[in-house]
Amino acid sequence: MKTESARLFFALWPDEAQRTALTAMTESLPAGLGRHVAPANIHITLLFLGAVAAETRQALEAAATRIAASPFVLTLDHYGYWRKPQVLWAGSRVTPPELRGLVEQLQRAASACGLSVDNRPYQPHLTLCRKVRQPPQLPKFLPFYWAAADFSLVESRSAPGGVRYEPCRAWALRVDVDSTSGPHSVE
């Protein structure tokens, strides 16, 4: 019997205020550039997982609960463009060590659950626009300070208008992780 699976990734998922500001960033881009990311889909990927079976997901969520990482601020400070996937993104020249540590812990947790993970150096980026056929002329970049207080497990679903991302569960980042009780869930 085929077990149920979902297409999953870990991400920084914006709160409403962050989403509003980031939507303004995508909307400030010149028209006709490509396909802007829908406001509801704005996020920063931490770790792409792909198809995950239900039992593996349970183990993964349990492992995510044990992750110990402090909150941090990620400064989005420039535009970037990847020619091959034709993606325009906003990136950060500095990766906070807390973010690097969080991603490494997620990679280890996913590997321990039997998932194959991308071990290339992590480059935080927020995809703004897809199908951008050539390096565009862009407005001045206005820095955005993303205060990250939690991380989320997100499901990617095919929808009639394109892909839709649905956050399923979030875990708080905490300054002091009490080893006796473990990090709080923010569900």
Residues at the site binding ligand 3AM, with contacts judged by CB under 6 A:
9, 45, 48, 118, 127, 156
What residues act catalytically? 43, 125
Of 45 and 177, which CB lies nearer to ligand 3AM in the complex structure? 45
Residues 6+ apart with CB under 8 A from 172: 149, 150, 183, 184, 185, 186
For the CB of residue 156, give the shortest distance to ligand 3AM in the complex, in Å. Answer: 5
Rounded Cα distance between 76 and 147, Å, is 11
For residue 54, give the 3-state DSSP assignment: helix
Report how far residue 51's alpha carbon sits from residue 114's, in angstroms, rounded to the nearest whole number.
Answer: 12
The rounded distance, in Å, linking the Cα atoms of 87 and 98 is 26
Shortest distance in whole angstroms from residue 134 CB to ligand 3AM: 19
- Nearer residue to ligand 3AM within complex by CB, 45 or 95: 45
**Which residue number, 8 or 183, has a Cβ lying nearer to ligand 3AM?**
8
Q: Are 118 and 47 in contact (CB under 8 A)?
A: yes
By C-beta, is 132 or 183 nearer to ligand 3AM? 132
Residue with tokens 């990090």: 183
User: Minimum Å distance from CB 48 to ligand 3AM?
Assistant: 4
CB 53 within 8 A of CB 4: yes
Residue with tokens 């280890």: 108
Q: How far apart are alpha carbons 187 and 152 in whole angstroms? A: 10
